[in-house]
């Protein structure tokens, strides 16, 4: 009789453990199912979600040309301080509402007044495409171009395209703003000349690969009338190229 009771107790104990184990599995499954529903039905949170503009600001009114190449450039070697490709579109740049491209159609001069290809006026004509008839080719080594905005403005950003038909890196890229056409006094807003080849001072900005997005520079509201850009050849040749220069301000 005692043996029968012991066996019965053992059986009940085993049954109780089985019930508890089964209940635990069901609870875990239910929790996983609820988490799945939460992740599926909740609004997706993405790093690329739209960024809200700060009060009084708006995204820079950019109209980008179509890309001419895709993927990571393979043949650019030996360039120091070269930025890695982002692999995704550039985030919006916010500037005070009402800014516009002040450089469009404005007079432009430069150190090479007779370019190898094109005319200097093409650099502010609004054509940002990479076609052969859309870019200006200047002579070798250090060259500069200067845009006259015809009045003094608060400048918040600049975007410029050297060449984006192929992946290239342009050297000694320096951007200055002045109220003086002779640039006896000026503010440097970008400089990736790491050895002072252009004789405008040593810069700390990075080299970068040209793309259809152009190079966007934060000018931080600097006041000026004249914008000057230097370059000193590229990784493919000693020549200098410009497609378009845009200056956003008001």
The confidence score (pLDDT) of residue 32 equals 47
Distance, in Å, from the CA atom of 103 to the CA atom of 232, rounded to the nearest integer, reads 23
CB 198 within 8 A of CB 230: yes
pTM over cut 0.85 = no
Give the Cα separation of 149 and 60 in Å (integer): 19
* CATH, range 57-61+92-249: 2.60.120.260
Quick one: CA dihedral 159, 95, 151, 175, positive or negative? Answer: negative
> Which residue(s) pair with 246 in the sheet?
159
* Per-residue confidence (pLDDT) for residue 24, from 0 to 100: 56
Are β-strands 215-232 and 142-161 bridged in parallel, bridged antiparallel, or unpaired?
antiparallel
Question: Rounded to an integer, what distance in angstroms lies between the CA atom of residue 213 and that of residue 62?
Answer: 9
> What is residue 92's predicted lDDT score, i.e. its pLDDT?
95
* Contact (CB, 8 A) for 97 and 58: yes
Q: Please tell me the predicted confidence (pLDDT) of residue 46.
A: 43
Largest CA distance in the chain: 116
d(C-alpha 46, C-alpha 63), whole Å: 25
Quick one: the chain helix, strand, coil %, rounded to 5?
20, 30, 50
> What pLDDT was estimated at residue 76?
80
Domains of the chain, by residue range, sit at 1-42, 57-61+92-249
Cβ atoms of 190 and 83 closer than 8 Å? no
At 51 the pLDDT is 82
Which of 160, 168, 155, 154 minimizes the C-alpha distance to 210?
A: 168
pLDDT per residue of the chain (250 residues) written in tens, 0 to 9: 455 555 555 545 555 555 555 555 555 555 545 555 444 454 444 445 678 888 999 999 999 999 887 555 556 878 989 998 888 999 999 999 999 999 999 999 999 999 999 999 999 999 999 988 999 999 999 999 999 999 999 999 999 999 999 899 999 999 999 999 999 999 999 999 999 999 999 999 999 999 999 999 999 999 999 999 999 999 999 999 999 999 999 9
Question: How far is residue 35's CA from residue 72's CA, in Å, rounded to a whole number?
Answer: 38
Gap between the Cα atoms of 214 and 246, Å rounded: 10
């Amino acid at each position: 009789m005692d043996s029968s009771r012991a066996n019965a107790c053992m059986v009940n104990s085993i049954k109780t453990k089985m019930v508890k184990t089964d209940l635990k599995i069901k609870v875990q499954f239910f929790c996983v199912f609820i988490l799945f529903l939460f992740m599926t039905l909740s609004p997706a949170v993405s790093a690329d979600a739209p960024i809200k503009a700060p009060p009084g600001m708006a995204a820079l009114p950019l109209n980008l040309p179509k890309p001419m190449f895709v993927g990571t450039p393979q043949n650019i070697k030996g360039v120091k301080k070269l930025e890695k490709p982002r692999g995704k579109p550039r985030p919006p740049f916010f500037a005070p509402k009402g800014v516009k491209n002040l450089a469009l159609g404005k007079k432009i001069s430069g150190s090479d007044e007779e370019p190898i290809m094109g005319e200097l006026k093409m650099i502010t004509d609004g054509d940002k495409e990479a076609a052969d008839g859309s870019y200006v080719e200047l002579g070798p080594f250090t060259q500069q171009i200067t845009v006259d905005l015809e009045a003094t403005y608060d400048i918040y950003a600049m975007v410029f395209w050297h060449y984006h038909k192929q992946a290239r890196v342009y050297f000694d890229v320096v951007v200055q703003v002045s109220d003086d056409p002779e640039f006896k006094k000026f503010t440097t807003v970008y400089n990736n000349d790491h050895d002072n080849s252009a004789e405008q001072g040593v810069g700390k900005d990075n080299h970068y690969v040209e793309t259809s997005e152009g190079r966007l520079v934060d000018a931080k509201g600097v006041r000026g009338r004249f914008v000057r850009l230097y370059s000193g050849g590229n990784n493919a040749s000693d020549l200098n190229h410009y497609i378009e220069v845009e200056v956003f301000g008001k």
